C-alpha cells in the first residue's frame, strides 16, 4: 500500500528544513502526530523544540511552491515507489529500533514479516575465488532456510550474495547509496530487475540522487540496521564492509567474520575484526547458533505470520512488545498492563499459534 502523495509532500518538506536530523525528525512526529501536523503548529509551539531559523523555514513552506518536493512526487509516482515514513506500520521493524533510523525510505515493494529474520552479508568489491565462493555458499543456505539476505548491491561480495540468494529461491534486500531508480553499478542491471521482482530495493536518498562516494558509508547503517547480524566476508583495512560492521556493533547487533589467509590484503580487515572480538564463522550453522530462538522451518514461520492479523487486542499488545531479543515476563506484564495470570494465558495462546517461543529464565521471543 503506497502513501498518498498529499501526505508524502509534508514528510519531504520536513526533510528540507536545515537543522532537523533523524532524531529531531522523530521527536517532531511523536510530538505533533504527523509531518503535516508539524506544519500546522504555531511559532510558539515549534520554538519549544526548534531554532528560530528552522521555525521560519517551516512556517514559510508551501508544498506546491517547492521544486524539490514537486519533482520528488513526480518521480515517486512515475517509478511506482513505496514511500515509507518512520511512523508507518510498513516501516521495517528492525530498522526502526536504531537511533539513526532514516525519517523515511523509498522502496520498490513493501517489507514482509519474514524480513525481520534477516542477515547482512558484506565484503570487498574484489573478492578472491575463496571469498566469492563463501558468499555464494552462505547466501544459498540462508535462502534455503528462509532467511532474508541484506547487502549493498556493490560489485564483488554483495553481488555474489544477492545473486546466489535469488538463484536458490530466497529473498534479498539491496540497499542503495543513490536514488531508488538509479542503477549503480550499471552492469548489475539484470540483477536490479531480478531483485525488484523477487525482493526489495531500498534507499533513504531522494529519487534521482547520484551515487556519490559520500553516500555509501551513510547507507551502510541501513544494511546493518535491517539485519539481526552482519557477516563480513573478505575486507581490506579500508573496506566499507568494516564501516557496516562498526554500525552493527553500535546498533547492538551481532558481527561475524570469515577468516582469511594472512597473506591477502583483502583479508586484513576481517582478520582484524576477529582480533577485536567478532565471532569467527566457517559455516552458516556458526551464525545460527546465536539465534536459536528464531530459526524454525520456513513453512512454519510463513504459516505463523498469517495469524498475526487475526490476533485479539490483548494478544497484539503482548506480541508487539516482543522482538527477537528475549524479553522477561515482567516486562511483558508491564507493557500490556495485565495481571500476571492474564499475561500467562495470552503468552500460552501466542505460543500455541506458533508466533512466540519461551526460553529459559521466563523469557519470550518472537519466532
Question: Which long-range contacts does 52-58 make (Cβ < 8 Å, 24+ apart)?
Answer: 53/18, 53/19, 54/17, 54/18, 54/19, 54/20, 57/16, 57/17, 57/18, 58/14, 58/17
pLDDT band at 294 (very low <50, low <70, confident <90, very high): low
Q: Is 289 helix (H, G, I), strand (E, B) or coil?
A: coil
Note whether 243 and 217 are within 8 A (CB): yes
The residues, any chain, with a CB within 8 Å of residue 7's CB and separated by 6 or more, are 34, 35, 36
Task: State the Cα–Cα distance between residues 271 and 260, nearest whole angstrom.
Answer: 7
Contact 260, 271 (CB under 8 A): yes
* Cβ atoms within 10 Å of 211's Cβ, excluding its own: 16
Enter the C-alpha cell of residue 333: 506484564
Tell which of 245, 265, 288 closes a domain: 288
* Spatial separation of the C-alpha atoms in residues 115 and 238, rounded to whole Å: 30
Lowest mean pLDDT among 14-28, 74-88, 195-209, 306-320: 306-320
Q: Could you tell me if 165 and 243 lie in one domain? A: yes
Question: Residue 292's pLDDT is what?
Answer: 73
Q: Residue 204 in contact with residue 198, Cβ under 8 Å?
A: no
Report the pLDDT averaged over residues 305-329: 79
Residue 348 in any domain: the answer is yes
Asked if residue 72 lies in contact with residue 14, where contact means CB atoms within 8 angstroms, the answer is no
Radius of gyration of the chain (CA): 21
Rounded to the nearest angstrom, the gap between the alpha carbon of residue 33 and the centroid of all alpha carbons in its chain is 23
Neighbours of 339 (CB within 10 A): 10
User: Are 270 and 338 contained in the same domain?
Assistant: no
pLDDT for res 263: 85
299-308 confidence digits (pLDDT tens): 555 565 566 7
Cα 327–Cα 333–Cα 334 angle in degrees, nearest 5:
95
Residues 218 and 324 reside in one and the same domain: no
Q: Per-residue pLDDT tens for 90-115?
A: 999 999 999 999 999 999 999 998 89
Q: Which of 51, 78, 105 is the last residue of a domain?
A: 78
- CATH number assigned to the domain comprising residue 317: 1.10.10.10
Same domain for 217 and 142?
A: yes
Clarify whether residues 122 and 256 are in a common domain. yes
What string of DSSP letters covers 23-49?
Answer: HHHHHHHHHHSSHHHHHTS-HHHHTTT
Please give the backbone phi and psi of residue 121, each rounded to the nearest 5 degrees, phi first.
-125, 120
Q: What is the CATH number of the domain that holds 150?
A: 3.40.50.450
Q: Taking Cα atoms as reference points, which of 41, 35, 40 lies closest to residue 10? A: 35
- pLDDT above 70 coverage of the chain, percent: 94
Q: Look up the domain containing 17 and give its range.
A: 5-78
* pLDDT tens digits, 155-175: 999 999 999 999 999 999 999
Give me the CATH number covering residue 11: 1.10.150
Which burial class, exposed, middle or buried, applies to 48 when counting CB atoms under 10 A from its CB (0-12, 13-18, 19+)? exposed
* pLDDT of res. 354: 78
How many CA atoms lie within 13 Å of 139's alpha carbon, on the beta-carbon side?
A: 31
Count of domains observed in the chain: 3
φ, ψ dihedrals at 33, nearest 5°: 90, -30
Residue 60 inside a domain? The answer is yes
Rounded to an integer, the average pLDDT of 256-276 is 92
Kindly indicate the confidence band of residue 335, based on its pLDDT and cuts at 50, 70 and 90: confident
Q: 165 and 279 in one domain?
A: yes
Q: Which of 255, 288, 321 is the C-terminal boundary of a domain?
A: 288
Side-chain-side CA neighbours of residue 244 (13 Å): 37
Both 303 and 264 in one domain: the answer is no
Amino acid at each position: 500500500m503506497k502513501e498518498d502523495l498529499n501526505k508524502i509532500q509534508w514528510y519531504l518538506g520536513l526533510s528540507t528544513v536545515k537543522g532537523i536530523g533523524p532524531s529531531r525528525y522523530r521527536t517532531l512526529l511523536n510530538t505533533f502526530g504527523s509531518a503535516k501536523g508539524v506544519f500546522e503548529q504555531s511559532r510558539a509551539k515549534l520554538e519549544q523544540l526548534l531554532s528560530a531559523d528552522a521555525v521560519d523555514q517551516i512556517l514559510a513552506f508551501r508544498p506546491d511552491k517547492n521544486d524539490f518536493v514537486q519533482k520528488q512526487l513526480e518521480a515517486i509516482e512515475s517509478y511506482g515507489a513505496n514511500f515509507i515514513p518512520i511512523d508507518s506500520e510498513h516501516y521495517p521493524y528492525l530498522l526502526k529500533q536504531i537511533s539513526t533510523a532514516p525519517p523515511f525510505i523509498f522502496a520498490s515493494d513493501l517489507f514482509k514479516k519474514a524480513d525481520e529474520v534477516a542477515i547482512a552479508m558484506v565484503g570487498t568489491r574484489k573478492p578472491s575465488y575463496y571469498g566469492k565462493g563463501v558468499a555464494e555458499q552462505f547466501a544459498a543456505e540462508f535462502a534455503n532456510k528462509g532467511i532474508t539476505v541484506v547487502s549493498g548491491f556493490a560489485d564483488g561480495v554483495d553481488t555474489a550474495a544477492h545473486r546466489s540468494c535469488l538463484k536458490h529461491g530466497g529473498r534479498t534486500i539491496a540497499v542503495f547509496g543513490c536514488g531508488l531508480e538509479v542503477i549503480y553499478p550499471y552492469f548489475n542491471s539484470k540483477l536490479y530487475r531480478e531483485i525488484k521482482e523477487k525482493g526489495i530495493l531500498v534507499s533513504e536518498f531522494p529519487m534521482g540522487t547520484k551515487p556519490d562516494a559520500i553516500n555509501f558509508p551513510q547507507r551502510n547503517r541501513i544494511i546493518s540496521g535491517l539485519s539481526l547480524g552482519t557477516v563480513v566476508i573478505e575486507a581490506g583495512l579500508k573496506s566499507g564492509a568494516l564501516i557496516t560492521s562498526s554500525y552493527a556493533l553500535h546498533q547492538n547487533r551481532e558481527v561475524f567474520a570469515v577468516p582469511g589467509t594472512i597473506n591477502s590484503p583483502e583479508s586484513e580487515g576481517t582478520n582484524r575484526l576477529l582480533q577485536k572480538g567478532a565471532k569467527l564463522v566457517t559455516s552458516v550453522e556458526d551464525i545460527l547458533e546465536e539465534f536459536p530462538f528464531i530459526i524454525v522451518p520456513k513453512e512454519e514461520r510463513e504459516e505463523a505470520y498469517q495469524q498475526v492479523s487475526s490476533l485479539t487486542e490483548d494478544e497484539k499488545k503482548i506480541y508487539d512488545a516482543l522482538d527477537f531479543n528475549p524479553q522477561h515476563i515482567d516486562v511483558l506484564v508491564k507493557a500490556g498492563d495485565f495481571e500476571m495470570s492474564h499475561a500467562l494465558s495470552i503468552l500460552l495462546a501466542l505460543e500455541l499459534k506458533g508466533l512466540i517461543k519461551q526460553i529459559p529464565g521466563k523469557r519470550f521471543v518472537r519466532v
